[in-house]
A and B are shown apart, each in its own frame.
Chain A
Amino acid sequence: MLMRVLAPLAVAIQARVPVLLWGPPGTGKSSSVLALGRALGVPVEVVIASIREPADFAGLPVPDGVFCLNGQQIRSVHLAPPAWAVRLAQAGRGILFLDEISTAPPAVQAALLRVILDRVVGDLSLPPGVAVAAAANPPEQAAGGWDLAAPLANRFCHLTWGLDASAWADGMLRGWPAPEVPRLPEGWETDVPAARALVASFIRARPHLLLQVPREESRAGGAWPSPRTWDMAARLLAACAAAQAEEDVEAILLAGCVGEGPAHEFLRWRRELDLPDPEELLAAPESFQLPPRGDQQYAVLAAVVAAAVREPVKRDRLAAAWRVIDAARQQGGGDIAAWAVGPLAEASSRVGYVAPEARHFRPLLQQAEVK
């Protein structure tokens, strides 16, 4: 969908995380980046990587004059940057758009590494306001295409460029509107440390997700988790929060950095962070408020039950848990409460505790023909 990738693309470009658009030829990747540049009011330099040489990115060697060092005459060479790099450096900001990088020969891809990550072209450093975006055709669609080398792939946030037929048809009829994109406010980078802390504590809980180099050759050219991509992900998380982007935008960007599986694992972990503490609920069952959403209701109730039945089982904790469960039923979460109550009922009968609330569930259980 056209609009679906555009918002993540805009966030990534403003956050200056290198972004790579995967998509078939002729689907408007370049024109969308140009439109984005107009919308953000920054210049765009389009460089087609597949017709360039390594020297265009590593700098063209130009001999300088002769100079004297320790009595020896030495000729030196400097690496002259090409014109597009000079223009970007003069503007101080802008988007460098590298088109067709997957069809560039491996030697050119290697030279691109330094441009993309360090923003250095020859002897010229691009100013920090320059963002790098790239586009690639999937190898099976490209003429003489290569999969992206794993080191290069791992320096990008990968976005899949799709098309929305109805949006396209609208555009054909009414012209292409300037895209409405989320804007990053000034000073958004102050949030980056907090996002990094969040990512760090996630990795502490799931250390195996820090680095997973794909075994398959065809996947190494995509998004996979590594310390570098998690760092990019943290930056994008902060950017999304600052731009008040929708959760889908965030999910697309995260999946583009670290791959789909780890991204969703992270989102799920983060969602469960802000649920109430089960111990507090056991201490004050009457304070229980049923969360608005079913999955949260289940998570909270399951956590309360798990805390109550933890050894050593105490009757007052069981009673408190029953009160929470019953409050959930009264507030409209009867089925979820009945589902979560299993271990609690078991523990209660084990210690011979008869909960007065249990009978409230009987009609529902009978109707559902469960036990």
Chain B
Amino acid sequence: MLPEPLQAARLQLAAQRPYLAAALWALVPVERPGLGTLAADRWWRLYFDPAVCSAWTVEQLAGALYHKVCHLLRAHPERAEAIPAEAAAWNLAADAEINDDLYREGVSLPGQPVTPATLGQPEKLLAEEYYFALLRAQQSAPRQGASAQPPQGDGGAPEAGGSPDQGDGQRAGPQAAAKGDDPAGDAAESAQDGAPSSAAGRGGEEEASSPSPTTEGGGHADGAQEDAGGGAPPPQPGTPSASEAGDDGGSTPSSSSAQAGDASGRSGAPSGPAPGPVSGSAGGRDGIPSSAGAQAPAPGAGRCGSCAHGQREPWEDPAPSEGGAPGLSRAEGEIVRRQVAEAIRIAAASDSRGTIPGYWKRWAEEKLRPRVNWRRELAALIRHAAADAAGAADYSYRRPSRRQAASEAILPALRQPVPEVAVVVDTSGSVSDAMLAQALAEVAGVLRACGLRQSVHVLAVDAQVHTCRRVFRPKQVRLAGGGGTDMGAGIEAALRLRPRPQVVIVLTDGYTPWPAEPPRGVRVVVGIIEGSKISAPSWARVVEVKSDG
């Protein structure tokens, strides 16, 4: 049974985001006294410490709960498995993927949440992108960051690992110190970036040493207090200006926490390759191994448990099938995800005020109607058209089978005629060159895979045919033209070629008239590039080519 503050947090979250209700109710609470925080595992079991529930505010509980549900809804354990990813780095990457969205929404999180800025990365990327960026940063700068700030990193790690009885307060203190000091060192290096980075960095430090659990850094404040009791002094706050940043973060999280994220983003970006990744690589190499040695979770701050990376943490129960508390199986998790996605879709239909964040809408759309990969679809269409036109490796009696000698019956042999293909490229001004080049490259790749190297014509067409070449390397295609558009003219010109093509592939943005009648004796595949599908003839096979961004 959930303690009342946690019930209130869950209810508050559900009231603010009704579309998440199915996921919130699906969490299976497991009481874990002494945990010091909230944690969740991949089976949707929510571990909570009753003491923490009364120490944190309802908003903070709701924020942590929201963060956990985001991990589970975004299927982070499954995605980590698919890479397969190393747990600590993946956890940071997954946190960064979630937290930039949460910051924009003004959600308050306990502790020191990992953001893309902490990793020295731009916002709005996927966890996979952050993960590989982290790995690259770890490989490219071995031990450089550590030597830059040995006292914090080296002092922090053994201390936390060596005193397990003192819990996470021990760990949170040194880690906060390392992170807080890091950008401050940055600031010393570059004077003009000094202000925002030290504000962000020392803001965290300030929170860590602040006794009030109502500031944004409540989790760490909590830890720091225990820390002080345990004998290790908390880090001293920095300049007075830093406390302003900390106070702001606590009182009006919606605006200032976003600013804080931006500020540290700005500080990370211009400081160049060496200092930029310092905060990131320090987090990955010094901060995180030290936390990996500890026995306690830090929600949102790079140690979320198996709800993020799928591997069992020391505080977690074994899998439900191995005798742990009941939880949700993979299939049930997927059911919950779909339920939430449907709720979002229904709510989004009547959401005129834009209360549902855009990323949730996109997530729901993707979940319920996965976007077709245009490359795959284009390849499939071309393969089919080519195979149909060729009579696809059919059996013929023109040449006897090689098995003939072994048999009395007359056997056919395999013959594969190679079809003629023409590619009509729309070079009117409205088509973006970059997308055209991508689409052309894709077509070339597919045709080459089908064994069609020789018999391909490429026609550059706007209102009339400009060039017609028998080569096929996307770079060699001269994209002349640039006036009005008529793809009908292009198809006609293609059909006048000798030998007559059996397959015509048209790449256009769709702003073109088409012939009313299907051209005879030829299969037409149309790739609509980034168009809003102005027109596509019903007699052609159509695929939409969209940029992947």
Contacts and interface: CB of A to CB of B under 8 A. Distances in A.
Interface in B120-179: none
B21 interface: yes
Contact of A62 (B8, B332, B377, B407): B407
A22 B225 CA distance: 55
Interface in B385-414: 387, 392-395, 401, 407-409, 411, 414
Nearest to B16: A370
Interface of B: 1-2, 4-5, 7-12, 14-15, 21-22, 24-28, 58, 81-82, 84, 321, 326, 329-332, 334-336, 338-339, 368, 372-373, 376-377, 379-381, 383-384, 387, 392-395, 401, 407-409, 411, 414, 416, 449-451, 541
| Secondary structure of the A contact surface, majority rule | helix
A39 interface: no
Main secondary structure of the interface of B (DSSP, over half): helix
Given A106-B393, A144-B450, A368-B12, A295 B26 contact: yes
Nearest to A163: B84
Contacts of A251: 329-331, 334
Contacts of A164: 81, 84
Given A139-B383, A144-B451, A335-B2, A105 B331 contact: no
B73 to A, nearest CB: 14
Contacts of A370: 11-12, 15
A217 interface: yes
Contacts of A264: 331, 334-335, 338
A364 B25 contact: no
A297 B26 CA distance: 9
Given A144-B449, A368-B8, A267 B326 contact: no
Nearest to A268: B335
Contacts of B4: 334, 363-364, 367
Contact of B338 (A165, A217, A261): A261
A208 to B, nearest CB: 14
A63 B408 contact: yes
Nearest to B13: A368
Interface centre among B8, B10, B372, B376, by most chain A C-beta atoms within 10 angstroms, is B8
Contact of B414 (A53, A271, A371): A53
Given A62-B409, A105-B414, A247 B329 contact: yes
Contacts of B27: 294
Contacts of A252: 331
Nearest to B525: A217
A339 interface: yes
11 contacts: A107-B393, A107-B394, A147-B383, A216-B372, A247-B329, A267-B335, A294-B28, A295-B26, A298-B21, A338-B11, A370-B11
A219 B384 CA distance: 13
Given A251-B331, A268-B335, A367-B58, A54 B395 contact: yes
Interface in A52-91: 53-55, 60-63, 77
Contacts of A53: 395, 401, 414
B407 A140 contact: no
A349 interface: no
Nearest to B411: A55
A358 to B, nearest CB: 15
Contacts of B331: 247-248, 250-252, 264, 267
A294 B387 contact: no
Contacts of B392: 105-107
B339 A368 contact: no
B12 A218 contact: no
A289 B5 CA distance: 23
A292 interface: yes
